[in-house]
């Protein structure tokens, strides 16, 4: 990955198109508000500049808390196209806790929306193709069982 551009960005200027791929609770936002009040922003958010807006990749809780507090955020801008940025979002967060449901939603997005083969998704997400297949099967069965498509 090439050098990152660092900017200060207003939360209202961020494109939140990937927010549906993450689960944030009211409690986690309240906790982040308290953290920002007490310590300030310790970790930048990660965005991608598409030439028009900054697309938020990582830092959804920080963004919501900053809106509540009326703060600007420090942003690291990463290069790349939208599908690879989605995989990058996963790679940034997998140790800290991407839920199985979030993994499934992201895999389905990469396969069904972006048109990648499961083996390609496995490579992007640094996982085995069977891991991708299991996540995809699980999320498809959940959406079917819940009255989804």
Domain holding 74: CATH number?
3.90.1530.10
Same-domain check for residues 50 and 4: yes
Structural domain for 61, as ranges: 1-80
Over residues 116-125, the mean pLDDT reads 90
101 with 61, same domain: the answer is: no
Last residue of a domain, one of 33, 60, 80: 80
Do 30 and 69 have their domain in common?
Answer: yes
Query: Where residue 1 falls among pLDDT bands split at 50, 70, 90?
Result: very low
CA proximity to 138, closest of 112, 110, 103, 96 = 103
Q: Could you give the C-alpha distances from 73 to 24, 50, 79, 110, 112, in angstroms and in order? A: 18, 18, 19, 28, 33
Are residues 107 and 34 located together in one domain of the fold? Answer: no
Residue 2 has pLDDT above 60, yes or no: no
- Residues 92, 43 within the same domain: no
Instruction: Please say which residue of 45, 65, 80 terminates a domain.
Output: 80
Higher pLDDT, 88 or 130: 130
Domain boundary among 80, 99, 134: 80
pLDDT higher than 70, residue 149? no
What is the per-residue pLDDT for 37? 93
Q: What is the pLDDT of residues 62-92, one digit of tens each?
A: 999 999 999 988 887 776 676 677 888 788 7
Count of structural domains within the chain = 2
Both 72 and 91 in a single domain? no
Query: Which pLDDT belongs to residue 94?
Result: 75
Same structural domain, 86 and 111:
yes
Q: Are residues 94 and 134 in the same domain?
A: yes
Q: Tell me how far the alpha carbon of residue 28 is from its chain's centroid.
A: 16
């Amino acid at each position: 990955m090439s050098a990152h551009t660092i900017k200060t960005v207003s939360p209202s200027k961020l494109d939140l198109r990937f927010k549906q791929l993450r689960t944030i609770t009211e409690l986690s936002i309240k906790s982040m508000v308290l953290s920002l009040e007490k310590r300030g922003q310790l970790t930048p958010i990660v965005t991608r500049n598409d030439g028009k807006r900054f697309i938020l990749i990582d830092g959804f809780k920080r963004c919501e808390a900053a809106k509540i507090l009326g703060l600007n955020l420090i942003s690291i801008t990463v290069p790349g196209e939208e599908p690879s940025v989605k995989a990058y979002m996963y790679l940034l967060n997998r140790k800290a806790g991407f839920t199985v449901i979030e993994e499934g939603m992201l895999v389905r997005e990469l396969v069904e929306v972006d048109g990648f083969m499961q083996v390609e998704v496995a490579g992007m997400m640094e996982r085995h193709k069977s891991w991708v297949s299991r996540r995809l099967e699980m999320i498809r069965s959940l959406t079917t069982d819940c009255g989804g498509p």
